[in-house]
Amino acid sequence: LMPLPPTGLWTFLWFIGFCFLTNQWSWTRAEDVYIGADSARAAITFSFFSIFSWALLLTFAYKRYKMGVEDFAQSYADPSPGVPTPYSSYPNISHESYQQPPFTHTAEAPEGYQPPPVY
C-alpha cells in the first residue's frame, strides 16, 4: 500500500508541471527566445511522457496491492486455538533413565586449593 500515494502524487505533479510548462511556452513570443527553444520543447516533451510512465507505475503498484489482498483473503487460515502437541520423546527411552545434570557437586569441598576437575 505504501507505493500508491507517492506514485499518485508524482503522476499528478508531472501533469501539473506539463500544464504549467505548456502554458508558459504558449505565452512566450518567438522574438523573446534567442537560445534554448529546443531545451524548452524537450522539457515539455519529457514531462508529457513522464505522466504516462508514472501512471503506468501507479497501475502496477495498484495491481500488486490487489494481488496481495486477494491472496491474503483466499489463503488465510485462522490458527487453531488448541494447544499444540509437544514433541515426542526419543523411542524406547523411559523418562527415569535421565542423567544427573553436570557440574553439580553435593559433597562438601575440603579446605584449601582444589584444582579444577578434568573432563
Domain ranges of the chain: 9-26+37-74
Q: Are 55 and 11 in contact (CB under 8 A)?
A: yes
Neighbouring C-alpha atoms within 13 Å toward the C-beta of 20: 8
Q: What pLDDT is stored for residue 52 in this prediction? A: 92
Most confident listed range (20-24, 78-82, 110-114, 115-119)? 20-24
Q: How far apart are CA 24 and CA 41, in angstroms?
A: 11
Q: Is the pLDDT higher at 26 or at 97? A: 26
Distance of CA 13 to the CA centre of its chain: 25
Q: Are 15 and 44 in contact (CB under 8 A)?
A: no
Percent of the chain residues past pLDDT 90, beyond the cut = 18
Helix (H, G, I), strand (E, B) or coil at 80: coil
Is the model's pLDDT at 64 over the cut of 60?
yes
Q: What is the mean pLDDT of the chain?
A: 78
Percent of the chain residues past pLDDT 70, beyond the cut = 66
Answer whether 0.95 is exceeded by the pTM. no
